[in-house]
Each structure stands twice: as C-alpha cells, then as structure tokens.
Structure 1
Amino acid sequence: MITTDTQESRINVTVLGEFTLADFKEFEEVVMKLESTVDLFVDLREMNGFTVDMALEEIRFARAHPNDFARIAVLTEDQWVSWSAWLSQIFLNADVRVFNDADDAEAWLAGTESPAA
C-alpha cells in the first residue's frame, strides 16, 4: 500500500508493506497530472518487499519520464533499496540521494541542509 501527498512542487510517497504494481500505477497517475518538474520524497522505511512486476514498471517509467523530477530523496535503512535508488539514476536526470533520517531528507529537499551534511 502507498500513500501520496501532492504539494505545489513536491510529491511525498510512503510505502507500507509490499510495494506492488497496483501501488506503482497509483503513483504514476499522480505524476501524470503534474505540469512541471517536482521534487519527490519517498519513505520506504515501512516497505517489506516489492513485486517483480513493480520493479520492471519502475524501470519502464523512469526511462519514459527522465525529466519529471528535480530531486528525489529516498528514506530507507535497507542497503538493497539504497543500491536500487542509485541504479535508478541511470535513467533519470534527477539528483537522487538516500537518507537514514527524515529530517536530513527534508532539509536537503528544502535546500536548508548544513554545509557539513
């Protein structure tokens, strides 16, 4: 299951449980309504897996929409998810960063992170 919250220049997505193709299609519908490039905050701390068809759709979508996002903050403590976020940069023209702390991710997206961060 996912929840989405769309703001003027940002989409917040939280994944709970297994990330399925139906969930990703819901996310795609939100993105398709956008009229400009936005930032994306993806909270994957409560994700406990994903389906193969969702992963393939994510790759297809990223290849078809490389310029839809300016910055993507991925919140996770899972190394596999961190690696897959890094891999997605191959298809996207966005700055993708992985965070362990929600406040750090929020600060980066807001442009208020400290220089030492």
Structure 2
Amino acid sequence: MISIQKTSYGLKVVLHNDFTLKDFNQLEEALLSAINQKLQPDLLLDLSQMKDFTIDMALEHLRFLRQHAHDIGRTAIVVEDIWIRLGARFANLLTLQHPKYFSEIEPAQRWLEQNAQTTTVIGNNH
C-alpha cells in the first residue's frame, strides 16, 4: 500500500507492507505530475514500514529512474531494514541517483524542508 502527499519540497511517499506494481504506477503518476509542476521536485521516500516488493515493480522502478534521472531533485530515503536498505542502494547505483539515507522520518523531512527554504530564498534574491 502507498500513501502520497504533496509538500513544499515535492512529494512525501510512505510505503506500507508490500510495494507492488500498482503502487508504483500511482507513484509514477504523482512524480510525473510533480515534475510538471516544479523543476526537480524533492522526494521523501519512507520505506520503514515496507516489508517486501514485487520483481515487476522493481524493474519498472529502475526503468523510470533511468528515464527521469535528471528530473528529480534531492531524495531522502527512510529505511531501517538492512536488506531493504541494501536493495535501495543497489538500485540507486544502477540509476546514478545519490539519495541520502535516514533511519527516522523527522530528520529526513527537516533536511528536505531546509533545502526547499534555501532554494526559495536564493530564488527570490535573483
């Protein structure tokens, strides 16, 4: 199951239990919408409640990240399970993404919000 929320920095995505192709299709739609509304939206991806993922979803995830590698800004990944963390790191190596990993959601959210405020301040001065 997936929960997607628009934020000041882009999207906050929380995955619960199994991450399926249907969930990924919802995420892909939300990301494409965010990309169309904001130049390089940031992404908070909370995997701390995710238990497993399907292979078809993983393949679509890799395809999407390769296509949109330069369309997404900073990515914060919240993950506690060592195997899911290793899988996420491996997938990011294949797509040239460089996310920042967190063990709790609050510091991840602060990191992205701070970046969004800095970007806004810099943007207003030029």
Q: TM-score, with normalisation over the residues of structure 2?
A: 0.79
Match of 1:33 in 2: 33
Which runs of structure 1 show a deviation greater than 4 angstroms over 4 or more consecutive aligned residues?
none
Match of 1:13 in 2: 13
**Alignment RMSD:** 1.7
- Greater fraction helix: 2
**Preserved contact between residue 3 and residue 13 of structure 2 (Cα < 8 Å):** yes
Deviates more, 1:1-10 or 1:13-22: 1-10
Percent identical across equivalent pairs? 34
Q: How many residues are treated as equivalent by the alignment?
A: 111
Match for residue 83 of structure 2 among 77, 80, 85: 80
Could you tell me which runs of 5 or more consecutive residues in structure 2 were left unpaired when the two chains were aligned.
116-126
**Preserved contact between residue 9 and residue 113 of structure 2 (Cα < 8 Å):** no
Could you tell me which runs of 5 or more consecutive residues in structure 1 were left unpaired when the two chains were aligned.
113-117
Residues 8-41 of structure 1 deviation map (CA, whole Å, 9 limit, x = unaligned):
4310001111100000001001111132211100
Higher alpha-carbon Rg? 2
Q: TM-score, with normalisation over the residues of structure 1?
A: 0.85
**Preserved contact between residue 4 and residue 12 of structure 2 (Cα < 8 Å):** yes
